[in-house]
């Protein structure tokens, strides 16, 4: 999985950290009916786009 994440991050030109963090967030919220993770992802994207 780790290797695949790295490969996909390179392929789609996104930071590996962003993909890993997003997966970790989804795992944490998996049991919630109302995850509301899209705004959180937007924030993460804003942060990563500002950093790069």
Partner 1 sequence: MKLRLKEIHLQNWKCYQNEKIKFALNTEGNIWIVFGKNGGGKTSFLEAITWCLYGSSVISRKNLLQYFNRTARKQNPELELSVFLKFIKNNDCYSITRTAKRVVRGSSESVEIQEASFYKNGQRKQNSREKIESILPRFCKEFFFFNGAKIEHYAQITHTEETREAIERILGIPELINLRDDAERALKLIEERLHQASLANKDLKKITDEIKEVQQKIELKREQIEKAKQELYKQSEILSSVKQEGNQIEELQGKFKEIERLKLEQINSESALKKAEQEVKKYLEQAPITLMLDYVREMVDDLQVKNIIATRKTVSIKLLQQLLENDTCVCGRCIDKDARQYIIEQLEESNISQNRTKQEIDRDNLRSNLTRLSKYETPDYDEILDEQDCISEKLDEIERAITRLKKETKGISQQKAKEIWRKVGQEENKYKQKQQDIERLQNDIDRLKHQENDLRRNREKLAVNDEETAMLNKQVKLAEGLYKAADELIDWHIEQCQRTIEEHTSKIHHQITNKPEEYKRIKINDNYTLRVKNSVGDLLIPTTLSTGEKEILAFAFIAGLNLASETAAPLVMDTPVGNLDTIHQKNIINYLPEFPSQVILLATDRELPKDILDKLKPDIAQIHKIQREEEKDRSIIMEIEK
Which chain residues interact with partner 1 by CB under 8 A? 1, 4-5, 8-9, 11-14, 18-19, 22-23, 26-27, 29-32, 35, 37-39, 41-42, 45-46, 48-50, 52
Q: Shortest gap between Cβ of 12 and partner 1 (angstroms)?
A: 4
> Taking a C-beta distance cutoff of 8 angstroms, is the pair 16, 4 a contact?
no
Q: Shortest gap between Cβ of 7 and partner 1 (angstroms)?
A: 9
Report how far residue 6's alpha carbon sits from residue 36's, in angstroms, rounded to the nearest whole number: 26
Q: Where are the alpha helices (DSSP H) in 12-51?
A: 16-28, 38-51
Q: Shortest gap between Cβ of 10 and partner 1 (angstroms)?
A: 10
């Amino acid at each position: 999985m780790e290797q695949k994440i790295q490969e996909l991050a390179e392929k789609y030109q996104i930071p590996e950290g962003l993909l890993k963090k997003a997966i970790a967030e989804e795992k944490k919220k998996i049991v919630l009916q109302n995850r509301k993770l899209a705004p959180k992802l937007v924030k993460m994207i804003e942060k990563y786009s500002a950093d790069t």
